[in-house]
Structure 1
Amino acid sequence: MSTPLPDQRPPRRLGPRGRRWFDVLVVVGLLLPAVPLWFSVGPVSSALSVLQVGPLLWRRRHPVAVFWAVTAAHAAQVLLLDEPTLGQVAWPVAVYSVARYAAPVHGWAALAVSAVAALTAAIDWSVGSPDTALTVLTNAILIGAVAAAAWALGTLGRTRQAYVDALVERSDRVQREAAQQVALAAADERARIAREMHDVVAHGLSVIVVQADGARYAARTDPDVAARTLETVAATGREALTEMRRMLGLLRAEDAAVDGGPALRPQPGLADLDALVAEARTAGARVEARLPDPAATTGIADGVGLTAYRVVQEALTNVRKHAGPEVAVRVEVAVAGAGRDRAVVVRVEDDGRGASAEDDGRGLGLLGMRERVGVHGGTLEAGPRAGGGFTVSARIPA
């Protein structure tokens, strides 16, 4: 069983309604302290706090307008008061909002205005202090640092959101391209199935047509020849039907792009086992092979040859994947029996790690081999080999 993937749920985010209520709570929370201080600080200070904090309700939808509204309220404070108000906390929130939700140029403008506002506020609040220059410098740095931090957080949030949006767009594009590739692959597979079926059915039907024409002419002069010819027609039809069924079973598990070859390439068979073994040796495996003589394979159906080839191919692939280094492999393919008992016998064994090899739980090789062999009514056995290693053996009726 494959290892379950870790929890990949996206982080929770507020929806439009949740964001709206959040902004309302922010404004209410900032204004609540101004209510009991209405009589102690005076109506002017409290009213300015309302004008400074109130626009934050629209900071997401209209960040630039909100920033300038808050700026105007703070400018009025400089003209009317010489001391801070509770509404000063609206300034960093407005700077953050314009940097987060507006274009970068507006964020830079807000930062520049913040620098001027910090100096202006520091001068306004420091009038009459014992050490005016030091007080102005200290207040200007403190106010400017708060505004700069708000701008930096807003800019970081905006760039991160842009990055996430780009990833989402890229993911959507990849999914669309993958769907297109699947559609193209399905079209190629349908075309390949049509060609495979044409080769099987057309060959059988052409033989049937020729034999049927011969039987029709022979029926007038030699009924015995006509009878034998009709037997041949029936046998050819049954063979074509059987081969068609086998081909459909094979095509169900075939990949349209195996080995990256051209679509019109012939399917491999027993004659291609030499090349398969040579390829395994080139890859570094020590392979000893005993393959059937070409004369012994005469009359073996193409589907049977293809299945034997695929069994050897998958077994060698499993050796490379699971048996470990410096493995000796023995491949034996033979045609045994005669008549109805004729069969292709395949045996691939190695002296590697065998069943002790680590398995990721996702392999379908043995299942695929059993399905291929089962299409032809054959049997397949696979398991640890006595003395170490692994053995795959199959018997495919020919």
Structure 2
Amino acid sequence: MNGDIHCGEGAGAARPRAPGTGIPAAVIMVVGMGALVALTIWGLSDAHPTGESLGRDIAAGVLGCVLSPVLLRWPVTGALGLTLLAALSPAATPAATLGALLVAQRRGFPVAVAVAAAGIVAHAVQGTWRPNGGISFGWWLVLITVGYGALVGWGALARARHALVASLRERARRAEAEQGRRVAEGRMLERTRIAREMHDVLAHRLSLLATYAGALEYRPDSPPEQLARAAGVVRAGAHQALDELRDVINLLRDEDTVEGHEPDGRPQPVLADLPRLVDESRDAGGRVRLRNEVVDPDALPAAAGRTAYRVVQEGLTNARKHATGRPVQVMLEGRPGARLVIDIRNPLPEDGAATSITPGTGTGLVGLTERVQLAGGRLDHEVTAGEFRLRAWLPWPA
């Protein structure tokens, strides 16, 4: 019976009950209450065999059984009505005490105490005109008070447990939603990282290939030796670009990859690899001037070195794409305990027309700015005095 009553409580008086859900609880309540009333009347008939009192008890018990389902919808009103009926006959006591329990389960503690107090008063009135044999009125009142106190405590405990379960369910729902949000954010961050890594690694390589391919296209009358050499560079560069693409994808998928190393164990490029990067640009026909004034470059942290390499790589790639044939000046300076400064400049085309040999998306500098900011630095770029300037600052702890 308790389980069905609890289900009725969950429906509550504040919202309508779904069709048919209240019928099983009401039927079980009437049947169970009928059994308790029958036992109560049987005990009363042995103690007071008079016909008048027995008829009154039967009428009060039947009325209590009939009215008990009202507690499922209006617990306070039903409990007070059954409490008033309990003042007239002990046969209504089971229904009245059940009402006090349901009020304690479904209403606040002050309301439950008030209903319990009304029940104690009603049973005190009952005890004055219909004494119980074998026990004094004082002890009778003590037992009634203890019983109602137990009912209020039981109901309050059940209500607190129900509130706790509801709170835990809500917390679990919120945690699941939060976990879903974190997974979505993680996927977005992973996609952003993939795009940034692919741009940094492949844009430089593909722009070199485009430069050699452009030379083959515009100078078909070149000596066969130069054409063969350019074709070989294009072929080797294409294979290298594919290898770098595979390395980037493996790097982002392999959780066991050591920080600062490629999946095959090769270290990622750092500041010491800048001369090789400049030589690649020069071999492709670029006019690059490198001025490296870094003091104690071996003391530069590897993460800062990788970021500096990517900054220079992006600067050379942009110059090759948007200012083909124009000279590029790369300057680095810094020392431990200060900061590393990277300054890249290249003149713009004199006629202002775009000379890009490969289309650009405009997202390279956006990703590069994010990379520098994640390293604790800052990156600025501007067009002034007829040249494009890219300047980055990276922290260099002592």
User: Shorter-chain TM-score: what band?
Assistant: 0.5 to 0.7
Q: Which amino acid aligns with 1:173?
A: R
Aligned mates of 1:123, 1:142 — CA distance in 2 = 15
Aligned mates of 1:195, 1:248 — CA distance in 2 = 12
Question: Per the alignment, in what secondary structure is the counterpart of residue 268 of structure 1?
Answer: coil
The Cα of 1:45 is off from its aligned counterpart by 1.5
Aligned mates of 1:44, 1:122 — CA distance in 2 = 16
> Which residue is 1:29 aligned to?
35
Question: Per the alignment, in what secondary structure is the counterpart of residue 136 of structure 2?
Answer: helix
> Which residue is 2:168 aligned to?
167
> Which residue is 2:329 aligned to?
none
Asked whether the equivalents of residues 111 and 148 of structure 1 are also in contact (C-alpha less than 8 Å), the reply is yes
Is residue 210 from structure 1 mapped to residue 202 from structure 2 by the alignment?
A: no
Q: Which amino acid aligns with 2:102?
A: S
> Which residue is 1:268 aligned to?
260
The Cα of 1:34 is off from its aligned counterpart by 7.3
Q: Which amino acid aligns with 2:149?
A: A
The Cα of 1:35 is off from its aligned counterpart by 8.5
Aligned mates of 1:39, 1:225 — CA distance in 2 = 129
The Cα of 1:32 is off from its aligned counterpart by 4.3
> Which residue is 1:145 aligned to?
146
The Cα of 1:164 is off from its aligned counterpart by 1.3
The Cα of 1:62 is off from its aligned counterpart by 2.0
Deviations 1:16-63 (A, max 9, x none): 656455424323323444798799653322011122233222323321
Change (3 A) 1:158 1:250: same
> Which residue is 1:282 aligned to?
none
Deviations 1:184-214 (A, max 9, x none): 1111111001111112221221110111122
Change (3 A) 1:253 1:55: farther
Asked whether the equivalents of residues 212 and 233 of structure 1 are also in contact (C-alpha less than 8 Å), the reply is yes
Change (3 A) 1:147 1:34: closer
Deviations 1:79-126 (A, max 9, x none): xxxxx5333222221110111112333212112213322332232223
Is residue 114 from structure 1 mapped to residue 85 from structure 2 by the alignment?
A: no
Aligned mates of 1:179, 1:39 — CA distance in 2 = 72
Alignment of 1:1-398 (within 5 A): 17=21, 19-33=25-39, 42-75=54-87, 77=88, 85-126=90-131, 135-254=136-255, 268-269=260-261
Aligned mates of 1:122, 1:138 — CA distance in 2 = 11
Change (3 A) 1:225 1:218: farther
RMSD in angstroms over aligned alpha carbons? 3.6
Asked whether the equivalents of residues 53 and 70 of structure 1 are also in contact (C-alpha less than 8 Å), the reply is no
Aligned mates of 2:111, 2:7 — CA distance in 1 = 25
Asked whether the equivalents of residues 218 and 225 of structure 1 are also in contact (C-alpha less than 8 Å), the reply is no
Q: Which amino acid aligns with 2:36?
A: L
Aligned mates of 2:116, 2:182 — CA distance in 1 = 48
- Structure 2: which 5+ residue stretches go unaligned? 9-20, 266-271, 278-301, 303-398
Q: Which amino acid aligns with 1:113?
A: A
Moved more, 85-94 or 136-145: 85-94
Asked whether the equivalents of residues 101 and 152 of structure 2 are also in contact (C-alpha less than 8 Å), the reply is yes
Aligned mates of 2:231, 2:27 — CA distance in 1 = 87
Deviations 1:148-174 (A, max 9, x none): 111111111111111111111111111
Asked whether the equivalents of residues 30 and 87 of structure 1 are also in contact (C-alpha less than 8 Å), the reply is no
Question: Per the alignment, in what secondary structure is the counterpart of residue 220 of structure 2?
Answer: helix
Change (3 A) 1:190 1:213: same
Aligned mates of 2:165, 2:254 — CA distance in 1 = 39
The structure having more radius of gyration, on CA atoms, is: 2
Aligned mates of 1:63, 1:31 — CA distance in 2 = 20
Counting aligned pairs with the same residue, the percent is 26
Question: Per the alignment, in what secondary structure is the counterpart of residue 72 of structure 2?
Answer: coil
What TM-score does the superposition give when structure 2 sets the normalisation length?
A: 0.54
Q: Which amino acid aligns with 1:200?
A: V
The Cα of 1:143 is off from its aligned counterpart by 1.5
Q: Which amino acid aligns with 1:108?
A: V
Asked whether the equivalents of residues 82 and 92 of structure 2 are also in contact (C-alpha less than 8 Å), the reply is no
Aligned mates of 1:193, 1:104 — CA distance in 2 = 58
Asked whether the equivalents of residues 122 and 137 of structure 1 are also in contact (C-alpha less than 8 Å), the reply is no
Question: Per the alignment, in what secondary structure is the counterpart of residue 269 of structure 1?
Answer: coil
Asked whether the equivalents of residues 86 and 123 of structure 2 are also in contact (C-alpha less than 8 Å), the reply is no
Aligned mates of 1:122, 1:34 — CA distance in 2 = 16
